[in-house]
Structure 1
Amino acid sequence: MKLASLKGPTRDGTLLLVNSGLTRAVNTDGIAPTMQYLLEHWEESHAKLLDAAESLECGNERHAFDFQAALAQGAIDAPLPRAYEWLDGSAYLTHVERVRRARNDKVPESYYTDPLMYQGGAGSMMGARDPIRAKSEDWGIDLEGEVVAITGDVAMGATPAEASAAVRLITLVNDVSFRKLIPAELAKGFGFVNGKGANALAPVAVTPDELGQAWDAGKVSYRLVTHINGKWFGNPNAGDDATFSLFDLIAHAARTRELKAGTMIGTGTISNKDPATGYACIMEARVVEQVEQGEPKTPFLKYGDTVKIEMFDHQGDTIFGAIEQKVVPYP
């Protein structure tokens, strides 16, 4: 099952059911008005949505509309327009290792058994066609391509196995970072606030069964393909080189508190050991260039630059639709 949200009439948007080809969508008002409502009433709404999805797939929904046209017009919101919590881990320690090596530092041994995680802002998630807005190019504007799990309720102290049952939906995120603001912020000894911008989700979130065998033990074994200004930037496989699964990260987040339905857990920047797979964030490319060439070459994003992040199945079909954003000045 594939789900999205139409912008309006409230900040939580209007829940949409989308067909497998991401071409047609239908309003689900009679079942669940918003994504948050669905997540909080999953058991009673899920079966009804499955019936509606079958009808949509067969072309029997009279009120279906052109999903791609709505997306192109900027009418599609993030699948979950605002979340109770956005908790971002760091499952791919290759990313951390490269950043640390650039400053002649090593990754502490504890990082391989105890995940890194920060709590970010989720009061307004951007739609996949919404622009990346910043007041200054000097902030060091960066993208970060990740996989995200959207959960139901999770009990405090849940094990990874118990956390697996709480995964309701999977999607992609561009975790926007302002790299030049981060060092001074982290030096204070707390976490990210100003160094992280508003994030954008892919147009569609899918139930794990849509991923088939590529959904394996809390990892998604498909490549995340990123382009900057139309130029290929990377295609690391999200199932490779992950020290922690999404199940591990959810359990880590729930260690000392309950997680409520509508919590989003991110994998952190997808990164593979094989350098031929490229990158899912500019900072990682820059630190590799620093080590190998003596100085970073890849510039951070500037006004007018475009970013495209997408994931395809083995038949070459898009799974979540593409995050396509342009960098613009904040008005």
Structure 2
Amino acid sequence: MKLASYADGSRDGHLVVVSRDLTQAHYATGIATRLQQVLDDWGFIAPQLEDLAVQLNHGKLRHAFAFEPAKCLAPLPRAHGWAVVDAEGGVRREVGGFAAPHQPLRAPAAGEAVLAALTGDLAAASDRASALDALRLLTLALDWRIGGDLVATQCAPVAVTPDELGDGWAAGRLQARLVALHNGAKLEPRDVTAAPGDALARLARLRALRAGQAAGVALGALDLSLAAGDSLHLDLKTAAGQSLFGAIDLDIAPAPSA
């Protein structure tokens, strides 16, 4: 299933279920209103959302509406922690919440694409298999830094369960293509692979993780220079070109006039 959080004036937004093709949505009211509720009680709530998703995908929900990514916050705006594991196994513990997929940056910054994994409760010293069992949802994120300092983390509009990834998910590993447009010009796509279970197990070596913890797998820095007034479109897609999580679309604030 695919889930998103529509902005409603609250800190956490309102949970919606999104169709497989990212065109339709339906409020999850009556089942859960926030994604954190789902992560806290996954075994009870997730099957109900799955049923709603099946009906949505088959066009059987009378009150479905067109999905609008521009109305989304990050799927989980206030995670219980955010840490990124790099290719060498190093861990960077980040601070702050997740920004919306269309929130503009106030200044040019260096960006790094990250596959973000949202977990259920995971005991300390859990192995990779246990970590994969605790993996609930995946999404695309972008860490933005200025001079090495994290200034923002933006998320794609939709978080998905691994079973929604189709051929892009095998043996606990994501395989996808990172596609970017810089000021409307297409950059060279990048094939990426990531094992979020390994990242979760790495974080759980010394301490337990609670439901709502986010672990990132670094997918590499963005090979471009951003300037004031620039725009960026970033998306993770299947080999067939289908968007997995919806795109991150952002603008960098133009330089102030003299």
The answer, yes or no, to whether TM exceeds 0.5 is yes
Aligned to 1:57: 57
Matches within 5 A, 1:230-241: 230-239=184-193
Distance in 2 (CA, whole Å) between partners of 1:159 and 1:224 is: 29
Distance in 1 (CA, whole Å) between partners of 2:91 and 2:38 is: 27
* Aligned partner (choices 187, 203, 206) of residue 253 of structure 1: 203
Question: Structure 2, unaligned stretches of length 5 or more?
Answer: none
Aligned to 2:222: 281
Distance in 2 (CA, whole Å) between partners of 1:253 and 1:7 is: 30
The CA deviation string for residues 156-206 of structure 1, in whole angstroms up to 9 with x for no partner, is: 01111111101101110111121xx22xxxxxxxxxxxx111111111111
**Structure 1 residue 77 and structure 2 residue 73: aligned?**
yes
Aligned to 1:88: 84
Aligned to 2:93: 119
Question: Structure 1, unaligned stretches of length 5 or more?
Answer: 92-110, 183-194, 271-279, 283-297
Q: How many residues align?
A: 256
Over 3 Å counting, the alpha-carbon distance change for 1:302 and 1:21 in structure 2 is same
Letter of the aligned partner of 1:172 in structure 2? L
Over 3 Å counting, the alpha-carbon distance change for 1:330 and 1:45 in structure 2 is farther
Letter of the aligned partner of 2:175 in structure 1? S
Q: TM-score, normalised to structure 2's length?
A: 0.93
Shift of 1:329: 6.3
Please say if residues 128 and 202 of structure 1, whose CA atoms lie closer than 8 Å, have aligned partners that are also in contact: yes
Matches within 5 A, 1:161-176: 161-176=129-144
Matches within 5 A, 1:174-185: 174-178=142-146, 181-182=147-148
Distance in 2 (CA, whole Å) between partners of 1:121 and 1:329 is: 26
Please say if residues 177 and 239 of structure 2, whose CA atoms lie closer than 8 Å, have aligned partners that are also in contact: no
Aligned to 2:173: 219
Please say if residues 14 and 34 of structure 2, whose CA atoms lie closer than 8 Å, have aligned partners that are also in contact: yes
**Structure 1 residue 21 and structure 2 residue 21: aligned?**
yes
Distance in 1 (CA, whole Å) between partners of 2:40 and 2:255 is: 34
Distance in 1 (CA, whole Å) between partners of 2:153 and 2:188 is: 20
Aligned to 2:228: 303
Distance in 2 (CA, whole Å) between partners of 1:41 and 1:9 is: 24
* Aligned partner (choices 102, 105, 115) of residue 147 of structure 1: 115
Matches within 5 A, 1:98-137: 111=88, 115-123=89-97, 125-134=98-107, 137=108
Letter of the aligned partner of 1:118 in structure 2? R
Distance in 2 (CA, whole Å) between partners of 1:44 and 1:199 is: 30
Please say if residues 229 and 255 of structure 2, whose CA atoms lie closer than 8 Å, have aligned partners that are also in contact: no
Over 3 Å counting, the alpha-carbon distance change for 1:214 and 1:85 in structure 2 is same
Shift of 1:208: 0.2
Distance in 2 (CA, whole Å) between partners of 1:330 and 1:199 is: 22
Moved >4 Å (runs of 4+):
none
Please say if residues 148 and 265 of structure 1, whose CA atoms lie closer than 8 Å, have aligned partners that are also in contact: yes
Distance in 2 (CA, whole Å) between partners of 1:330 and 1:152 is: 42
Letter of the aligned partner of 1:129 in structure 2? H
Distance in 1 (CA, whole Å) between partners of 2:96 and 2:214 is: 9
Q: TM-score, normalised to structure 1's length?
A: 0.73
Over 3 Å counting, the alpha-carbon distance change for 1:9 and 1:160 in structure 2 is same
Please say if residues 150 and 170 of structure 1, whose CA atoms lie closer than 8 Å, have aligned partners that are also in contact: yes
Over 3 Å counting, the alpha-carbon distance change for 1:132 and 1:218 in structure 2 is farther
Distance in 2 (CA, whole Å) between partners of 1:143 and 1:330 is: 19
Shift of 1:322: 0.7
Distance in 2 (CA, whole Å) between partners of 1:61 and 1:248 is: 38
SS in 2 for 1:268: strand
Shift of 1:233: 2.9
The CA deviation string for residues 298-331 of structure 1, in whole angstroms up to 9 with x for no partner, is: 5x32211111111222332211111111112699
- Structure with higher Rg: it is 1
Aligned to 1:204: 158
SS in 1 for 2:48: helix
SS in 2 for 1:133: coil
